[in-house]
Every structure is written in C-alpha cells, then in structure tokens.
C-alpha cells in the first residue's frame, strides 16, 4: 500500500501516548478503542439478551410449562426487547461506525473525542443500571414499549420501570451525543476531495441514522420524563382515570419507536453496500439511489409511527394515511434490494463468510419486508397484531436483517480492527448453522401466529394446536445458541492464533484498507486525497478508472475536479499530527450522571437520602466537567506554540 508505506519513518510517534493496561481503556479518547469498547460491551449485553430469549423459548417449548413464573416471564420479554434494541443492535452499529467512519473518510479521529468517550461510558452505565433492577425488587415487566397505564405505580410497584426510564435515559443521552459527533465528523472532517457524493455508503447510512436519532430520541425522552413524573411526582399525563391519555404514550413512544427501526437497519444496509461490491469485484450498482433512498427512508420513517397502533382505533382516515405511508417505504427499500442484486449480477463473486452474511441479509430481509408490507395494511394488521406473526416479521427484519448485516461487517472488518483474520471455515459453519436455525426458530412463528397464538403469553394449553410450532422454535433457538458459541470461540481463538491480517485482505476500495491492520493510533500519516468513490481501487487499478469512468454525474465530477484542482496546488508536506490526550474526565462525568440517576429514582420515596445522592452526583459531575474544560484547553491546537 503506497499510503501505508509512506507512513514508515516519516512521523514521530505522538508524545500523547496511550496509557498502559486498563488505564489506557478507562481514559481513552481514541475512536478505535471506543469502537472496540462499544462492540465488546454491546456483544456482552447481546449475549445476555439472548439468554433471556432462550429462557423464554424453554418455557414455551412445551404446553403448560412451569419453568418460569408468569412474572419472571414478563421480566424476560421486557428485558430481552429492551436489551436487544438499546444495548445490543444499536451499540453494535455505533461500535462499527465509531471505528470505521473516521478511517473511511480519511480523518484522524471523531470531531469530539472526549464527547465520544462520554457516550461510551453513559451507554455502559445506562445498560448496567437497567440490569441493577434485577437485584432491587425485579426487572421491568411491562414490555419494551412500556404501555400506559400498565407502567403506573399501582400496576408496576417495583422500581423496575424507574430503572428502565433512567437506563434508557442514559443510553439516550449517549446516543444523542454520539449522533451529534457522527454528524459533525462526517459533514466536517472528510479528507480533501471526498465530496458527499463520494462518501462510502456505510458513512452515508451512519449520517442518516445520526439525523434520525437526534430528532427521534428527544420525543422518547419527554415521554419517559412524563412517565417518571406520573410515577413519583403526582402528575397525570398517562392516567386515564384523572383525564390523562394512555394513547398519548403510544404516540410518543412510536414516534420514536418506528424511526428507531431504521436506526437499527440502515447502518447494516450500509455495511452490505460495502461488502457486496468488494466481494463481487464490481462497484455498487446505483450508488446515488442507495444513498438517497436511505434519506427517503429516514424521512418517511417519521410519518408511519401509527402503523404500530392500528388496533387502537384511531379512525379510518388516520389508519389509511399511516398504512399508505408505510407502503411507500417499501419503494425505496425494494429498489435497494435490486441495487444489491444488480451489484452481484455478473460479478466475480467471492463467497467469504462476510459475503455469505450479506447475501443472507438480503434474502431474510426480503421475507421480513414482505410480511411487513402486508402488516402495513390496517385490516390485515388488525387480524395479526399482537400475534406471533408479528414476532416472526420483526425477527426476520432485525435478526435475519440487522444481525446478519452486523456479522457481515464483523467478518469484513475484524482483520482491520485486530490485525488477525477470523477463521473462515468456522465462520461458514456458523453462517449455515445460523441461517438454518434462524429459520427453524422464527418461520414457525408465522404459522403459530396465524393460528392465533398471542404474543407475551407465558404458557398455552395443549389443545390450542400450537405445540409443534413452538417445539420447533425452541429447538431452533437452542441451535442458534450453538451458532453464537461458535462465533465466540472463533473470536477468542482467532484473536490470539488467527493468521496475521495484511492491510488490505479483501482488496477493498475504501480508505480504511490503505492503512495497516490494526491502524496506527493516528490513522493516517498523510491526509489522503480522494478523487472518486473508490479511492483505493483508483490507486491499485488506475486503468479501470479510465475504462469505466468515474460513475459520477457530470456536475458531480466537475465539483470534484474543482476540489481536486484546488487541493492539488497544495504541497504534500508532512503535517504535524495532533491527537487528543487521554483523560478520565468523561468517565468521571458519567459516574456523576449515574449517581444522579439513582437519586432521581428514589427521590419520591427516600427524599433526603436521594437528594443528597443527587447532590453528590452533581458534585462529581462538576469535578469531571472542570477537568474536561482544562484538558480541552491544554489540548487545543492553539496551545501548541
């Protein structure tokens, strides 16, 4: 790699060196380390969420089972949903984005490295707080959607719902801070020549998701704050007997909750838009369409929330509008599918594990998408809502889709992140086992759902006729667990003994493959110059660029050329490299916020103790912020002379 070679000997290692051992992780501001922390912690939460699912499947394996009590079962499905969405899928995507986005756009770090560290700590503490609830009276047992008025104190007397509110609150702040960071990083820190229309599609999708996030999350935050006030401070937002409105909660929740679906799926669409071209040895088909249909999906995603509420009875006009808007989303999504197929068409396919997962994504996502389109029709929806059919649909989209997409990304980028290759043979075993057991688990749910099996029931009678489907689902889920153990084994062994990864193991087209594996702490010794959508293929195969053209519209090419021209005049001098110092400040601020959160939970019941805890939390926060301001001043580029 030309760029990687230029690295050697030209740059003195930055004097702000990484602290050794645990201190290095606790005080890091490096986007790559933070990305790995996201991935590891999210995977741990993901496994816990998986165990919760397994417990539920064991309970449902045979009729009239008594393995779990009804209350524990309720806690399990609540925690399973909350964990998978907030602590599993979202942060897995954020972790890949954190690691890859700066590398893909030719930046040395995120725009706000300390804010980035704050995000990871708030996410971890938010997740831990949610799980503390198990030890202080019971986890939340009201479903991940927490419908009112079930969440009110008289129906949910334990602190579980309060921990849910605060835990989601902390991860929400982390997500908004992270999204702001992605927006500024992607819009403002692109390497010279990387116009928006030359950005890798994974970066495009992360940008769209960041915008969805900052507009969707505050609505959930307001809803949960109002719920907290209802539970502790005497308000009546969601108390129907006092004039409150339980349906308002549903509106607030799903105004967030539906865009959330796209927050989960769009990054994985970005992943496979990187993986498919690489392993088809062809540029993506219809780059602009894939990018802008992502924008369309993000926008339409805000107009369909009430399709989760057809059973409420909002009236025919509202149902017709939200049904039609939901159908509309199928258009950009459907064309994307054809874009991916056309990318593979006549390509020379390399069926690596990553590629298999990308193809698995397309096929399973299509099934989930089709059941989704039918569910968007109000009359059909009313028949199937709250049945296992919906469980099947949602898992085809979020497991068959999002999880498989994330695995495509992990097998694709693991060599870049660790410097070791994952074992491909084990990976392919894992893929096939997962594909078969996934379908064995979730396909029968279409059938049990259509035969009337409702969601969220802890057991059923033998005469209902659902025995076979449930037994198959349970067997499938146990096999799924084996597939995940295979992956865990693969990671643990490959990270020590896997073959050494070269800088560019897949012959990739994007900038992350131009630096060593794992990348140096400063990412790029020289800021790369970008002249097309596939900067690395340009460099490796200059003749292809001339044969095929740049696949840009004339106007875009002109803009790019202007940019190239201007930048081309600048001398390629070695720039000094400026990296953020490690600091504990974000960790300290997060600890303060967490203690504040504990105080808020108990403020209504133990006023004085809770208030003093809040005070302590605020003081810790203030200390952290002071040291944050100091280090940011010392780190400021202007202080270097």
Partner 1 sequence: MSESSMTRPQAAVAHHTSLGVDNRKLGVWAFIGSETLFFATLITTYFVFAPVNRARPDFQDPRQFLDIELTTVLASILLASSLTMVLALSASKRGDRRWFTTWLLATVGLGLAFIGGQVYEFNHLYHEGLTLSSSLFGTTFFVLTGFHGTHVAIGVIWLLSVFFKVRAYPDSPENAMDVEIAGLYWHFVDLVWVAIFVLVYLI
What is the number of other CB atoms lying within 10 angstroms of the CB of residue 7?
Answer: 18
Q: Per-residue x/- mask for partner 1, residues 560 to 579, rule CB under 8 A? A: ---------------xxxxx
* Closer residue to partner 1 (CB): 577 or 613: 577
- Residue 528 CA to residue 3 CA, distance in Å, equals 8
What is the number of other CB atoms lying within 10 angstroms of the CB of residue 18?
Answer: 16
**Among 563, 567, 546, 547, which Cα is nearest to 196's?**
563
* Closer residue to partner 1 (CB): 75 or 181: 181
* Closer residue to partner 1 (CB): 103 or 445: 103
Site stretch for partner 1 (CB under 8 A), options 60-68, 175-183, 418-426, 511-519: 175-183
What is the number of other CB atoms lying within 10 angstroms of the CB of residue 626?
Answer: 12
Judge whether 140 and 168 are in contact, CB under 8 Å.
Answer: no
* Closer residue to partner 1 (CB): 425 or 641: 641
Site stretch for partner 1 (CB under 8 A), options 201-209, 223-231, 469-477, 606-614: 223-231
* Closer residue to partner 1 (CB): 181 or 387: 181
Site stretch for partner 1 (CB under 8 A), options 41-49, 173-181, 409-417, 495-503: 173-181
Q: Does 235 bind partner 1 (CB under 8 A)?
A: yes
Structure token digits, residue 478: 């146990």
Q: Does 221 bind partner 1 (CB under 8 A)?
A: yes
Q: Which of 47, 51, 132, 248 binds partner 1 (CB under 8 A)?
A: 248
Q: Does 641 bind partner 1 (CB under 8 A)?
A: yes
Site stretch for partner 1 (CB under 8 A), options 31-39, 60-68, 212-220, 342-350: 212-220
Q: Per-residue x/- mask for partner 1, residues 2 to 21, rule CB under 8 A? A: ---------xx-xxx-----
Q: Which of 187, 488, 572, 615 binds partner 1 (CB under 8 A)?
A: 187
Mark 151-163 as b/e (b = at least 16 C-beta within 10 Å).
bbeeebebbbbbb
**Among 176, 37, 41, 46, which Cα is nearest to 98's?**
37
Site stretch for partner 1 (CB under 8 A), options 24-32, 219-227, 413-421, 492-500: 219-227
* Closer residue to partner 1 (CB): 322 or 388: 322
Helix, strand, coil % (nearest 5) of the chain?
70, 0, 25
Count, residues near partner 1 per rule CB under 8 A: 57
Q: Does 245 bind partner 1 (CB under 8 A)?
A: yes
Site stretch for partner 1 (CB under 8 A), options 211-219, 276-284, 341-349, 599-607: 211-219
- Beta carbon of residue 223, minimum distance to partner 1 (angstroms, whole number): 8
Long-range Cβ pairs for the range 584-587 (8 Å, 24+)? 584/26, 584/27, 584/624, 584/627, 585/114, 585/624, 585/625, 585/627, 585/628, 585/631, 586/29, 586/114, 586/115, 586/117, 586/118, 586/121, 586/624, 586/628, 587/26, 587/27, 587/117, 587/121, 587/624
- Beta carbon of residue 235, minimum distance to partner 1 (angstroms, whole number): 4
- Residue 193 CA to residue 565 CA, distance in Å, equals 9
Judge whether 512 and 519 are in contact, CB under 8 Å.
Answer: yes
- Beta carbon of residue 56, minimum distance to partner 1 (angstroms, whole number): 33
Judge whether 369 and 397 are in contact, CB under 8 Å.
Answer: yes
* Ordered alpha helix ranges (H), 281-352: 287-300, 316-344
- Beta carbon of residue 575, minimum distance to partner 1 (angstroms, whole number): 7
Q: Does 223 bind partner 1 (CB under 8 A)?
A: yes
- Beta carbon of residue 305, minimum distance to partner 1 (angstroms, whole number): 13
Q: Does 605 bind partner 1 (CB under 8 A)?
A: no
In angstroms, the Cα distances linking 545 to 125, 531, 552 are 48, 10, 12
Q: Does 252 bind partner 1 (CB under 8 A)?
A: yes
What is the number of other CB atoms lying within 10 angstroms of the CB of residue 345?
Answer: 12
- Beta carbon of residue 259, minimum distance to partner 1 (angstroms, whole number): 11
Q: Does 633 bind partner 1 (CB under 8 A)?
A: yes
- Beta carbon of residue 547, minimum distance to partner 1 (angstroms, whole number): 30
Furthest-apart CA atoms within the chain: distance in Å:
81
Question: 352 in the Ramachandran plot: left (φ > 0), alpha (ψ -120 to 50) or beta?
Answer: beta
- Beta carbon of residue 111, minimum distance to partner 1 (angstroms, whole number): 5
Q: Does 640 bind partner 1 (CB under 8 A)?
A: yes
Structure token digits, residue 163: 């921990």
Helix (H, G, I), strand (E, B) or coil at 429: helix
Helix (H, G, I), strand (E, B) or coil at 42: helix
- Beta carbon of residue 113, minimum distance to partner 1 (angstroms, whole number): 11
Which positions touch partner 1 (CB under 8 A)? 11-12, 14-16, 111-112, 176, 179-181, 183-184, 187-190, 194, 214-219, 221-223, 225-226, 229, 233-237, 242-245, 248, 252, 575-579, 625, 629, 633-641
């Amino acid at each position: 790699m030309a760029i990687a070679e230029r690295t050697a000997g030209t740059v003195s290692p930055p004097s702000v060196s990484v602290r050794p051992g645990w201190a290095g992780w606790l005080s890091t501001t490096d986007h790559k380390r933070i990305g790995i922390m996201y991935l590891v912690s999210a995977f741990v939460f993901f496994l816990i969420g998986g165990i919760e699912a397994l417990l539920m499947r064991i309970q449902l394996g045979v009729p009239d089972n008594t393995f779990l009590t009804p209350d524990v079962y309720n806690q399990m499905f609540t925690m399973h949903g909350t964990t998978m969405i907030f602590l599993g899928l979202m942060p897995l995507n954020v972790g890949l984005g954190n690691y890859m986005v700066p590398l893909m756009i030719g930046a040395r770090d995120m725009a706000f490295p300390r804010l980035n560290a704050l995000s990871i700590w708030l996410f971890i503490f938010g997740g831990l707080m949610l799980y503390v609830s198990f030890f202080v009276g019971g986890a939340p047992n009201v479903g991940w959607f927490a419908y009112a008025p079930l969440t009110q104190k008289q129906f949910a007397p334990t602190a579980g719902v309060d921990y849910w509110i605060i835990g989601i609150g902390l991860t929400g702040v982390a997500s908004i801070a992270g999204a702001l960071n992605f927006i500024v990083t992607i819009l403002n820190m692109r390497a010279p020549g990387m116009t928006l229309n030359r950005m890798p599609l994974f970066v495009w999708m992360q940008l769209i998701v960041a915008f969805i996030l900052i507009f969707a999350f505050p609505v959930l935050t307001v809803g949960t704050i109002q719920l907290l006030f209802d539970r502790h401070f005497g308000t009546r937002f969601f108390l129907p007997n006092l004039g409150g409105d339980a349906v308002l909660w549903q509106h607030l929740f799903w105004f967030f909750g539906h865009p959330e679906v796209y927050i989960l799926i769009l990054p994985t669409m970005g992943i496979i838009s990187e993986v498919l071209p690489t392993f088809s040895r062809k540029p993506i088909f219809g780059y602009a369409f894939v990018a802008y249909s992502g924008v369309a999906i993000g926008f339409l995603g805000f107009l369909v929330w009430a399709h989760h509420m057809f059973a409420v009875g909002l009236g025919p006009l509202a149902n017709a509008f939200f049904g039609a808007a939901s159908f509309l989303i199928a258009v950009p999504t459907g064309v994307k599918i054809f874009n991916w197929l056309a990318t593979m068409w006549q390509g020379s396919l390399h069926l690596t594990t990553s590629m298999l997962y990308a193809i698995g994504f397309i096929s399973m996502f299509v099934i989930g998408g089709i059941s989704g389109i039918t569910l968007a029709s109000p009359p059909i929806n009313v028949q199937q809502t709250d049945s296992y059919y919906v469980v099947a649909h949602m898992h085809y989209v979020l497991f068959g889709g999002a999880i498989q997409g994330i695995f495509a990304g992990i097998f694709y980028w693991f060599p870049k992140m660790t410097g070791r290759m994952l074992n491909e043979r084990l990976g392919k075993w894992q893929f096939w086992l997962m594909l078969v057991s996934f379908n064995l688990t979730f396909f029968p749910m279409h059938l049990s759902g259509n035969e009337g099996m409702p969601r969220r029931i802890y057991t059923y009678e033998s005469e209902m006729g659902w025995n076979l489907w449930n037994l198959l689902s349970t067997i499938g889920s146990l096999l799924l667990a084996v597939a995940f153990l295979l992956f865990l084994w693969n990671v643990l062994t490959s990270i020590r003994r896997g073959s050494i990864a070269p800088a560019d193991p897949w012959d990739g087209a994007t900038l992350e493959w131009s630096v060593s594996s794992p990348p140096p702490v400063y990412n790029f010794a020289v800021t790369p110059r970008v002249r097309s959508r596939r900067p690395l293929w340009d460099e490796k195969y200059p003749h292809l660029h001339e044969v095929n053209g740049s696949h840009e519209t004339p106007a875009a090419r002109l803009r790019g050329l202007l940019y190239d021209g201007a930048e081309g005049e600048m001398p390629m001098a070695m720039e000094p490299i400026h990296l953020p110092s490690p600091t504990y400040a974000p960790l300290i601020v997060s600890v303060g916020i967490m203690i504040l959160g504990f105080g808020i939970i108990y403020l209504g019941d133990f006023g004085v103790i809770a208030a003093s805890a809040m005070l302590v939390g605020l003081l810790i926060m203030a200390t952290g912020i002071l040291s944050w301001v100091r280090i940011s001043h010392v780190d400021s580029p202007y202080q270097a002379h």
